[in-house]
Amino acid sequence: MEICPLRQSLLDCDGHALVIGGPGSGKTTIALKKATSRISSGMEDWQSVLFLSFSRAAVARVGEAIRQQVQREHRAKLSMQTFHSFFWSLISTHGYLLGAPKKIKILLPSDEKVYYGSIKKKDRNDDNSDWVDWLKRRNDLFIQEGKIAFDLFAENALALIDKSSHIRELVSQKYPLIIVDEAQDTGPEAWK
């Protein structure tokens, strides 16, 4: 890949950056160059560059690019995770700070269906009080029993990051560079 002045400005950037481009334009390649540049500039043994993506398929695609483009000695400093796995690591470790029990379990969609049964999801034009009651009950399940549904991961991880400067510092120290791949697939809580 040619490092033009625009790509070099991304490599030199010390703050937040947003890279926009179509498929095959080199977004992942330049992100990997940014990551290896950061690793080469020096990191502690316990630090790594975090690649976040929405899907496991995208994480696998980045993993393949890493095997092809990143020197072996830098690979251990790259952590590839889906948003959900990253959120789970925060919630399972620190969820008690939100009032949940210390032991937290994932409420699988099939188990969630057992709880809400035949209640239909709330339609925008329909006031479905049963569904609203279920959503409240689902939050109660997290606080009272430590059972959390997948679609509550983002908002609870965000609550932890918002409420705890200590957690923000831990994350930013552990991951001095965070790269988000496929950002367009994220929801509002994941984006925050």
SS3 track for 44-60 = CCCCCEEEEECCHHHHH
Write down the pLDDT at residue 155.
92
Q: What is the pTM of this model?
A: 0.83
- State the average pLDDT over residues 120-139: 74
Q: Is 25 annotated as a binding residue?
A: yes
| Residue 20 DSSP label | -
| Residue 125 DSSP label | T
The torsion of the CA quartet 185, 187, 191, 192, rounded to 10 degrees, works out to 180
Write down the pLDDT at residue 127.
66
Of 28-32, 96-100, 127-131, 181-185, highest mean pLDDT: 96-100
Q: Is 118 annotated as a binding residue?
A: no
Q: Is 15 annotated as a binding residue?
A: no
User: Could you give the CA distance from residue 169 to residue 95 in angstroms, rounded to a whole number?
Assistant: 17
Helix (H), strand (E) counts: the chain: 10, 5
Q: Is 99 annotated as a binding residue?
A: no
Q: Is 186 annotated as a binding residue?
A: no
